[in-house]
Chains A and B, each alone.
Chain A
Amino acid sequence: MSTSPEITNSVILSTEMFIALSPILLLSFGIVLSLLLIAWRRSQKMIALFTQFILVITLLLTIHLLSGDILVGSGTQITTLLNVDRFSYLSFVLICISAFVVVSLSRSVLKSEVEVHDEYYLLILLVVLGAGILVVSDHFASLFLGFEVLSISLVGLVGYFREHEHAVETGFKYLILSATASSFMLLGIAFIYSQTGNLSFAVSSNVMPWSAQPLQIFNSVGILLLFSGIAFKLSLAPFHFWSPDIYQGSPTPITLLMATVSKVAMFTVLIKCCFSQNYFNNESFIEIITVVALLSMLVGNILALKQQNIKRLMAYSSIAHFGYLLIVLTVSSLQNTEFAWQGALFYLSAYLLANIAIFTVLLISEKHRDNMSGDRDIHIVDWHGMFWKNRLSAVLVIFSVLALAGIPLTMGFVGKFYLLNQAVIFKSWWLISGLVIGSGIGLAYYLPLIFALFKDEKTLENQVVDGSGVYLVTTGKQLFMFTLLISSLLFGIFPDLVSQFIYR
């Protein structure tokens, strides 16, 4: 690059910015390397190991940056597009952890197929990259880019096993719905841009250059459209219809990826956008948030009641959980945003841990079931008597379900406590009652799930094959489940461990 005085005056990427952005850069470099690796030799074992390696390195680098002092304060602004701060990297840590788990769990699913699955790992890395761009974005253009990298690669993953019964249906539904949602979001951005003349998240002080009065209506409609696009991705109540079908039809590791990576990233960017645009000063926006949150809590919990399919049940339960999480958006002033972030990140990590645990067990029982019969969907009936056959996974399920229900001594309880605290500060009685009622209804499907684990299997009519009844679990998986169990116990009893890491 030429060194004319204009360019040297405005350095595009200084060393400090480079260091702050390094996890994302490393991840992108890893994607390029894995493409080269595929071109060099197509070996599934190698690409799987390489993907895990990249994710671990990215994770370690992010944690290293978090423990340093480069991310203090309002974060590092990298051009106008990105802004790296502590909270965005904390959610990036959550994203990397869940992506690593997804890659590790995928190996057993992919093994049963015949081809070499290079694209699968590449697409997972791209999903993580999209999520990484989302969490650090500070501009509508980068929000849009991250959103699309995330969703288009997710479409590829959702329909990945193209010979499976639901693959085409799931892929197509997800493609059409997510494309529609992103065009809604884009129209919202266009409307906001037309009124403010500024695409960055920071509040603009631009003045309308023409004499006509600003069309306030377009600004409000724009914010509404933007929110509905993001709400679709989070499967909040009026936009939730896709999620049970997609959850059911996707391969189980991908369902986990969708439930964790995509939702954590979208929620982080939603918080970032709302807090830096001061939407919480906007009365009608808060009203909309309240209505959507209440609807999600009620719809998610009530529709989950009659679900027998565990994946669908998890879909509805996640609708309800993101309804609860919306409470953090109702902050009264800029001073409270720190607390809101803390609550959100704590709740997200509790949600993540519980989801990872349940989907791991789901995958194991799916594999167990595949050995016995062809039907792939796991219903609650299939978990009957699990406690007597496989103690470890049953105990893990019990703890995670209790955490989702918000029983004391679990992370979920502390997370709900944060949210409740915030709703009380904001004096939003509707949200408080919604949270309480929703959790009450939630118990009505969480507890039967636990009871099912103890039920006697012999009462079932469809259980013909006994096949010795013992689950085949590899040592690695057992170790992994044990780690999950220990960490959910530990963080449940000593929540300070997590919140201190978040707060520092």
Chain B
Amino acid sequence: MTDIPLAHVLILSSLLFTIGFVGVVVRKNTLFMLMSLEVMLNAVGVAFIGAGSVWQEADGQIMFMLILTLAAAEVAVGLALLIRMQRRYRTLDIDVLSKMKG
């Protein structure tokens, strides 16, 4: 088994994170924004597991489990808001949510 350098893992996770972040910023559909958030969180998970394997510790994997829990909780709240939005505006387009200005 060949070792993967830590730098590669971190670069991969930064790339994934950037993809997720760009998704959150440019997507108009709120469902896809939530999915992009998941991508961001999982990118962080990759970084944690990579770092944990370098240090030969379980800490990285435990943090990943915590992140998974967070992702589930966040999506639960997000989907609840999504349903409210669909009922109210009959659309999932984020542009309807810009009433407050100033």
Contacts and interface: CB of A to CB of B under 8 A. Distances in A.
Given A172-B30, A179-B37, A152 B17 contact: no
Contacts of A209: 54-56
Interface in A175-228: 175-176, 179-180, 182-183, 186-187, 189-191, 193-194, 197, 199, 206, 209-210, 212, 215, 218
Interface string B1-20: 00101110110011001001
Given A165-B99, A166-B99, A166-B100, A193 B60 contact: yes
B88 interface: yes
A312 interface: yes
A155 B82 CA distance: 13
Contact of B81 (A141, A171, A193, A197): A171
A162 B102 contact: no
B97 A212 contact: no
B56 A168 contact: no
Contacts of A156: 77
A159 interface: yes
A173 B96 CA distance: 12
B84 A162 contact: yes
A240 to B, nearest CB: 14
Q: DSSP majority for the A interface? A: helix
Nearest to A206: B55
B33 to A, nearest CB: 6
- A194, A199, A215: residue with the most chain B Cβ atoms closer than 10 Å: A194
Interface string A244-263: 11001100000000000000
B47 A159 contact: no
B100 A169 contact: yes
A215 B6 contact: yes
A312 B81 CA distance: 24
Nearest to B41: A183
B44 A176 contact: no
Given A156-B77, A169-B100, A194-B10, A212 B24 contact: no
A175 B78 contact: yes
A194 B45 CA distance: 12
A307 interface: yes
A145 interface: yes
A92 B70 CA distance: 24
Given A166-B99, A209-B56, 16 more contacts: A140-B63, A152-B73, A172-B30, A176-B33, A179-B37, A180-B40, A182-B70, A183-B44, A187-B14, A190-B47, A194-B9, A194-B50, A194-B51, A197-B57, A199-B59, A215-B6
The 8 closest A-B pairs by CB, nearest first: A194-B51, A190-B47, A197-B55, A169-B97, A183-B40, A186-B44, A245-B100, A190-B48
19 contacts: A140-B63, A144-B66, A144-B70, A145-B66, A156-B77, A169-B97, A169-B98, A170-B100, A175-B74, A186-B41, A187-B13, A187-B17, A187-B40, A194-B6, A197-B51, A206-B55, A212-B6, A212-B7, A249-B100
